Structure 1
């Protein structure tokens, strides 16, 4: 059995079990085969189109875990197309930190000519092999250092940069200045060499600080979540386009579908007063999605959707009527109770299990679940929170629609 045959036949098996059986397959390059099987298994989840393409070579595990998923890569393609139209130019782009090439394979489709730059020679060979298989014939692969190449490249429509987020010891970095290459130091050259630059950054990074560090050149901030988890922070820089900063909070559900998108201008809304929560009113409670939580745009959200915050720090919102299109989850409030034992006992009659979330509450989920003696799961949702007056309440709810 050849290595290629082994990969095709055993790619759905547990790689740990396969590694233990290596002696059964003396003609198979087992380290390579296991890398490919593990890569394909990750791609089946993150990159189904790539997994379905025969002959694609996958890189070592770390590159696969760090690469974009199809939904986030598609989002970047849409963004690149919008900005290319905005600047009236779609001739060329260069990805200075190519990696495995997922983002490049998508964003390059928006331009007539595209260049992939990566200093890792192994990744360059892999990408050079994969691009034709994926139908990309407008691309050039260059093995070079990003900073050195930037100084020689001709002006582009778009430059793309995904700085490395680990230091020389392998520890994660979340400060813009600690990433490699240093985008702040490169800023003048990036602006000189592109009509716009797209930066992909860690979702852990403080986007306010990043905008400040980039000295008024950021035109858009995109906070992208998939399946309720914040995945990427994208910044678009330009000296060609002058505009007011806008923040886009996107929650993606599938490779081509944006389930919710909230756009706002920072500081555009006055603070919204806390809700005077009473047991008898507020029929709906709303929980913002992960992108909204990362953005911290709670006043803008409240103003846009006519909802009232429980309190400044609870990040839950109330309304008397349903709110169509709310960027997050909405629930019908069935009962509200304090932590008084008698009230709790009455409010929880018939509730044997529930999904519990705490927002600005003195107990953890585990501690509260133990006190309530309720199992996890079911279709009841309990939000434990604190009002502006300091009262601890439980909102016993069910999903709306």
Structure 2
């Protein structure tokens, strides 16, 4: 941290009980919570799905604040997506259920991913997670007000792909990167559909948006 908040925190509190600090999005949230006292909330601010900054709210008057009381607020500005608010320790206790891909695929926005809300997002929205290392979620029926992209999907086989087809490619927890996928299957960028190469608990999957 620069300036070093650990060194100047007490001095800042001599000026005001409540402090708001703007930080780089690269800083580890767990580190902040473990090192700084009296954090009441961390806001993760994204703009059009690009995480821009963290806002740290420290309140000396809330001396009872403990690890489990820290609120994490995920915000994606210039989008129609709702904020997502959770308690830091709720993520640790939350459990995800796993499933192969169903009719709908949910891709959390990057403020959610920066927050590390991998299980609590699944629990709060009643979604199944594809795989422990794939932060995609799925359901049979569409869930509204999800803070991210929601796609109606179908599973396809690689042999169904045709040379020159246009797709918006996504690769997550899959051996090949988008550029390698394009080259292998002779695909082009663009079009109105997403093509997702990923992995569920049942193995590798190729999903196409409808």
3-state SS of 2:135 partner: coil
Q: Which residue of 1 aligns with 2:155?
A: 336
1:238 Cα shift? 1.1
1:249 to 62, 69, 74: 74
Q: Name the structure 2 match of 1:41.
A: none
The CA deviation at 1:351 is 7.5
Structure 1: 4+ residue segments shifted above 3 A = none
Instruction: Please state whether the residue corresponding to 2:53 is helix, strand or coil.
Output: strand
Identify which range, 226-235 or 241-250, moves more after superposition: 241-250
Residue 354 (structure 1) shift = 0.1
Q: Deviations over 1:170-227 (max 9, x none)?
A: xxxxxx2xx1x2111001112232120001000111111122121x321101001001
Q: Does 1:272 align with 2:93?
A: no
Paired position in structure 1 for 2:17 = 195
What is the deviation of 1:247? 0.3
Select which of 119, 128, 134 maps to 1:299: 119
Residue 213 (structure 1) aligned with residue 35 (structure 2): yes
Larger Rg: 1
Residue 195 (structure 2) pairs with residue 382 (structure 1): yes
Q: Which runs of 5+ in 2 are unaligned?
A: none
Q: Return the offset for 1:267.
A: 2.6
2:159 counterpart of 1:345: yes
Distance 1:211 1:267, change over 3 A: closer
Give the equivalent residue in structure 2 for 1:392. Answer: 204
Whole-Å separation in 2 of the counterparts to 1:294 and 1:287: 13
Unaligned runs of 5+ in 1: 1-175, 338-342
* Offset of residue 349 of structure 1: 5.3
Answering whether residue 135 of structure 2 is matched by residue 323 of structure 1, we say no
RMSD (Å), alpha carbons = 1.8
Q: Identify which of 52, 61, 64 aligns with 1:240.
A: 61
Give, in whole Å, the separation in 2 of the partners of 1:245 and 1:267: 8
| Residue 52 of structure 2 corresponds to residue 231 of structure 1 | yes
Asked if structure 2 preserves the Cα contact closer than 8 Å seen for 1:252 and 1:260, the reply is no
Change (3 A) 1:372 1:349: closer
Query: Which structure is higher in helix share?
Result: 1
Q: TM-score, normalised by structure 1?
A: 0.49
3-state SS of paired residue (2:34): helix
Q: Deviations over 1:318-358 (max 9, x none)?
A: 0111111000000000x213xxxxx3223x35981000111
For 1:25-57, what per-residue CA distance to the aligned partner results, in whole angstroms no more than 9, with x for missing partners?
Answer: xxxxxxxxxxxxxxxxxxxxxxxxxxxxxxxxx
- Matching residue of 1:150: none
Contact 2:127-2:139 at 8 Å conserved across structures:
yes
Question: Separation in 1 of the partners of 2:108 and 2:143?
Answer: 12
Matched, 1:361 2:177: no
SS of residue paired to 2:98: coil
Q: Is the 8 A contact 1:249 1:291 kept in 2?
A: yes
- Per the alignment, residue 82 of structure 2 pairs with 260
State the partner residue of 1:204: 26
Is the contact between residue 81 and residue 145 of structure 2 (CA under 8 Å) also seen in structure 1? no
Structure with greater strand percent: 2
